[in-house]
Amino acid sequence: MKRIQTFSALVASVTLFLIFFYSAINLETTYSLREGPANLLKHPTLQVHIRDGKSQASNQGRVIILPPAVLNVSVLNGLRHTIPQNGAYWNRLLYSVFKNLDKGVNPFGHNSDWSLCRHLKNNMHDFPSYPFLFQDFLQGMNCSSPPVLLNQPNKCRSGEGKDDHQTVLLFTIKSTPRNFEQRQAVRETWGGEGVYQSGLRVRTVFLLGSSPPEDPDLSSLLAFEARQFGDLLQWDFHESLLNLTLKMNMFIQWTVKYCPEASFVFSGDDDVFVNTPTLLSYLQSLEPSKASRLYAGQVISQATPLRDPKNKYYIPLGFYDGPYPAYAGGGGFIISGALMQGLYSASSAIPFFPIDDVYAGMCLKALGVSPEHHNDFRTFDIKDQDRENLCIIKKLILIHRRSPQQIKRLWKGIHNPLLTC
């Protein structure tokens, strides 16, 4: 009888020890997952793998796939100090996020069910006075997961060949279904994929929504183009100026999932001209500390909303009241790949804003990152008398905007070995 009692006591002790040990491991794992992205930003060489719900640390610079992380409240202070708290609809939504963060509540509220999310729930008394496109944006501003129509999941997958190189620069280019000529001009010039000087690999994707119902159906042609070039990403939401924020959100999600090793990510339009070798030389010149937190372009500082309903960038006072944080012009800017995970987390918490480059500035401000003005990014173009001056253009990184024919002519011109400047 004593042996039975002794054995039972031993089993109970071992069971309690195992329960305690498992709880400790589980608590540590949970804590590590919640703290992961903040640590990744501080220590970019330490990455986290997610495989079947498990995580493990690695210093091999491999893939980061995490759900949106709880943002560090302290880094949001810059955004909090920039955007006032008042009765405007978007301002109230933002401060609701701040309130939840202050309480330690996960603020990520974008609806993942595309079929159910387009239902407006607000107390906006002036909603009927807004233009149709703005009303459409408001009804879908909580929608963040449109169906994927065209994907390139293997775009950045590294092979094992001796000539393979990690993606140093990923061009993500905003386009529309009908803009084939622009895309082809980019492919044949500055956006051409390949290995540049010093073994730097460049990859390119074009970001598309779906054509409006009144437009011809281009889905078969787009499917052929995607197979032919392997560079189209398309989601099932209507192309519009105010849906560019959703497009930006989708490219952030795609990059984090399918191209997390990219050192730098360029975001721009399909009608810009980029001097790719000059851009790569600039990126190579950066100190590591700067390269890991880069957000550069032509910076717009001290901007405020435009209140003219006839302007395409019109923002009603009842929707947003306050200044904009400094931001890089959406024609083309460059950000560090190391910031993409944090940008994903920020964009999952901060309410969508109808102007995509302003929204990018807001999200990066929330991460404590301010845009750096680079004089060689000319998103508002250059002087008329310099538009055809190849010696001036050869020194610049970006000019906006150019036709497909002009893009090809400029590219050929600045690479002409007979050009003397």
The span from the CA of 415 to the CA of 197, in Å, is 14
Q: Contact 112/67 with Cβ under 8 angstroms?
A: no
Please, which pLDDT band fits residue 74 given cuts at 50, 70 and 90? low
**pLDDT by residue (tens digit) across 230-251?**
999 999 999 999 999 999 999 9
Single pTM value for the model = 0.82
100-124, pLDDT tens digit by residue? 888 887 766 566 677 777 665 666 8
> pLDDT at position 105, please?
79
Q: How far is CA 371 from the centre of its chain?
A: 15
Burial of 180: CB neighbours in 10 Å, binned 0-12, 13-18, 19+:
middle
| Tokens, residue 340 | 């993409």
Question: Phi/psi of residue 392, each to 5°?
Answer: -75, -45
pLDDT in tens, 328-368: 999 999 999 999 999 998 998 899 999 999 999 999 999 99
